Structure 1
Amino acid sequence: MKFLPRANPTVAQMKLHKERRTRKAKAKACLFAAVSPSIFIKIMKIDSTAEIWEYLKEEYKGDERIKNMQVMNLIREFEMKKMRESDAVKDYAVQLLSIADKVRLLGKEFSNEKIVQKILVTLPEKYEATISSLENSKDLSTISLTELLHSLEAVEQRRLMRQGDTAEGAFQARMHKNAGHKNGKVNNNKSCGNNQKNGVFPPCPHCKKTNHSPQKCWWRPDVKCNKCGKQGHVERICKNQQQEETSAAVDYCQEEQLFAATCFANKSTSKSWLVDSGCTNHMTNNQDLFRELDRTIISKVRIGNGEYIPVKGKGTVAIESQTGLKLIYDVLFVPDIDQNLLSVGQLVEKEFKVYFEDRNCIIKDAEGKEVFNIKMKGKSFALNLLEDEHTAILQQDSTTMFWDRRVEHFHHDDVLYMKKIK
């Protein structure tokens, strides 16, 4: 219906006409904004707001039978809703409220009590303790929807905060990025899992299995074993390797536990030794430091994040210093760590005394003689024998025991004396 002004309108009539036109345009804009794009195409050519409203009313009102069918479908959807373990309480409540609002728009009653009962019945098992607490403290038949949602959301938030706490702290060891490739176990398991997800491979011509490609078969005739030197298999399945691991496991079955810092603020080099109170054994990743290395001792060490890394041997490490050659006994060879470690526990076990005072780490032997005095750098104690001047050795035996008598080497003090009198 169009509103046309009179031939000679008054100021009040002109003002009223302007207001009516504004209201008409505003109502039309509201209807256009409320409908979906597909419906907007159907009503965009209708000029009158009243005609647009009548069209929408006839299109979507329907009779009572259609309304009842829609309500039944919505109630069925509501009854079939269940909260999954990964769903958030707020998202699940929004889904139920959306269905309830649709039912109410169709003119049917839908109380919040039904929503409360639905939430209590369909909650996952992890909320059982919360429901029991509410049953003991309140009457669930009178609890409001808002109160229930607030209680569940608070519990959910606390659980997420606890799960978000990471294990990265001052007592974790870093591993090389290629450590998984060295171990072989993790990467091989993952690759097999991915292959099985992607599909079944054709039978391997070497081992007749269907869970890997021929290029990744352990029994390839062109591959050479690094353990026994024979062709036709890899080191992982070598019989000699399995026999050594079995014999070593009988004699050395106890798993060591390693804790080390995630980062070293003092920028210590690989030649330095970090004094670690959480490490149970001396450890190094440098094979060249070993004077004697027994590779039959094979085990594992556990790092701070719970993962296990392999031990490839145990032996005696020779370290060159300004005062001579130093030997450290019972050192584990762990290729996957990035820092040499001195175990405080192993030093104490060898009757050494370790003190931490005045930003220094002082190591003394059983007689009370000072062996090392290490200054703290970046909240850690890194021992570098080539940079720092130290006064003693890392064992109770005499310094003459540091030289291999079997080949009749001269003692370091004797060499210095001969150089002096030359």
Structure 2
Amino acid sequence: MSNPAEKFVQPAIPRFDGHYDYWAMTMENFLRSEKMWSLIEEGIPAEPMGISLTSEAQRKVVEEAKLKDLKVKNFLFHAIGREILETILDKGTSKAIWESMTQKYQGSTKVRRAQLQAFRREFELLTMKEGEKVDIFLGRTLSIVNKMKSNGEKMEQSMIVSKVLRSLTAKFNYVVCSIEESNDLSTLSIDELHGSLLVHEQRMQGIIEEEQVLTVAQEDKFSRGRGRGTRGRGRGRGRQSVNKAIIECYKCHKLGHYQFECPESERQVHYVEEDDEEPLLLMACTDDLPLQRAKPWFFDSGCSNHMTGNKDWFLTMDEQFNQTVRLGNDMRMSVIAKGDVKVKVEGITQVLSDVYYIPELKNNLLSIGQLQEKGLAILFQNGTCKVYHPTKGIIMQAYMSKNRTFSLSLIPTAENPMCFQAENVTEKEAQLWHKRFAHLNYKSLRTLFYQKMVDGLPSLKTPGTICSTCLIEKQQR
């Protein structure tokens, strides 16, 4: 009777999971333990051509080899899945099956060489990412190293250590210097390097957390002292946000938000503080609007008066009128004059009265408020702006564009457009103004006019006659 201690457990057949190199190594070890690896290397002994095996011993050897080959095939069938097995059903011997698997998954010498070149390039370009952990980076590095080794690359451990050290981020510079000074890289193992990097990473993480706590504490302290309604100087790039729970709003004096975020405050983009002495012009510059009409006028609810920058359109003009308009961004423009503009709207002649002339204005504006003062009704509905006259019905109609503006094409029909009366100043009057300001040059006189620095000063042109006094003063011996 056999001794139970002599019995051993039959090893499991290695299953093929797609990693050929690992499977081939374990399967070879399994077949060698079963004393069947010779059938993979040499195959079944071939029978001599034209000679029958008369010897009983010879027939017995061949039969035993065929029986062992069937066992090896059985092991391979259990190790290989059905999908792969269906592609090698025509292989009659275990050696043919093994060679087919090698050709499919290990590839030829050229294929392995090409794969190795790709892995070498990936290994050379490998660098540590910002914020990446040491464990993750070393895992990526060793994964590529293992792929290179499986394709025939021989890599020394010192080569891997040097690659890791020169691929770390800038924050590990002092760590790399310390390791290179205190260790011999030719004998330093991967595990020792890994442990040293982990220790330094933990120290750096502790320092960063302390700095963040200190930064938050400083910002919190500053916000309590001066953070009411302002952002505070402590909020910079890369720092933690301020705790708004302790921020008091200047507008409503409630906690939790700044003044510019106050829900009770009107949005500054649409409204500004009104000054009774200065008309408002809240419409922004629209140079980029696609002007599909020849002379577009834009309806503007925030504009106090009709305004234009084209002085040739005026039928009458009062050049003594001086005013300023204020934009939504608190910029100011000078109103040089005001007057009436006669235009045609869909074949009907209309007169726009009290139109401001602003040379710096690049768009023509129709004041909705001024139209209503004339007894007209304005209706915005379904993407259309309609202006109604009490007796004539609809006199103007505009459609909303893609940028949500309403513009109307108005054609000026002034027969004798008037410019500034200052342009009709005689040459004698111009010279008189020149003498009044101690023979000041005409360019400076025009600057005084446009800057509104002198009340009553008209716009002057340089006369054809040169001042004789100025010539005498500029003469040299």
Specify which structure has the bigger relative contact order, considering alpha-carbon pairs within 8 angstroms and separated by 6 or more residues: 1
TM-score, normalised by the number of residues in structure 2: 0.35
User: What's the TM-score, normalizing by structure 1?
Assistant: 0.38
